[in-house]
Amino acid sequence: MRWLIALVAGCLSGCSVGHYEYSQEAAKRVDMTVTGIPTVLGIGALGTTIPLTPEYSLTAAHVAKYSLYRVKAWHPECDIAVVYHKNKEANLPPPFRNSHIGDAVNLYGYSYISALPVASSGKNLINTTLANDWNKPGCVVVAANAGVVKGMSGGAVYNASDDTLAGVIVGYSSRIDDNQSGKTLYKNVALYVPYARFQTWLDGVVKS
């Protein structure tokens, strides 16, 4: 893999990157999960889940670990998990589609700071590796120039062209460097696990 994240996901340092704003649409597409009480002072923990079926939701593994939900399955390589959660949405499961570099995407989640639903928009920039405790080197993630704030981890990435689910937000980074030259290629990017990396696993989990 030619590209390498210079820093670990932003959920481990800093608070947010890029532009995001309050969104009623986000509240329709994702749910908030809380451990403790989120406040502007950062007390408590907060993350986001994506309704998947009437019984399950999809989220980031690091969100699932600290949420109050029981975990049905952990992805073996990526920061992805399926949790037990009662969902009443009529149109489940959501339609999925693999995205491509250059495609426009919309991100939805909940802000750790305000506990409000938020959204951002951007485009896919590059595939990259992500070195942390939740993503193994074999799980390549996508970097997008969309805004992300703490709490959006586990949230949804939708393809803007046809409103299909493209992946799960797992964090952000202040920059991406060229692994050979050290030159900074992109700054302040969102990171998400693309559907292509968990499609087969997810099909098996839902059917089991």
Q: Provide the residue type at 91 as one letter.
A: N
C-alpha–C-alpha distance, residues 28 and 59, integer Å: 16
| pLDDT given at position 35 | 64
What is the DSSP code (8-state) at residue 195?
G
What is the DSSP code (8-state) at residue 63?
H
| pLDDT given at position 16 | 79
pTM of structure: 0.88
| pLDDT given at position 44 | 57
The full set of domains in the chain, from first to last, is: 23-36+44-207 (2.40.10.120)
C-alpha–C-alpha distance, residues 197 and 200, integer Å: 8
C-alpha–C-alpha distance, residues 58 and 202, integer Å: 9
List the chain pLDDT tens, one digit each, 208 residues: 334 433 333 333 357 788 899 999 999 999 998 765 555 544 556 899 999 999 999 999 999 998 889 999 999 999 999 999 999 887 899 999 999 999 999 999 999 888 899 999 999 999 998 878 899 989 999 999 999 999 999 999 999 999 999 999 999 998 898 878 889 999 999 999 999 999 999 999 998 8
| pLDDT given at position 129 | 87
What is the DSSP code (8-state) at residue 67?
S
What is the DSSP code (8-state) at residue 129?
B
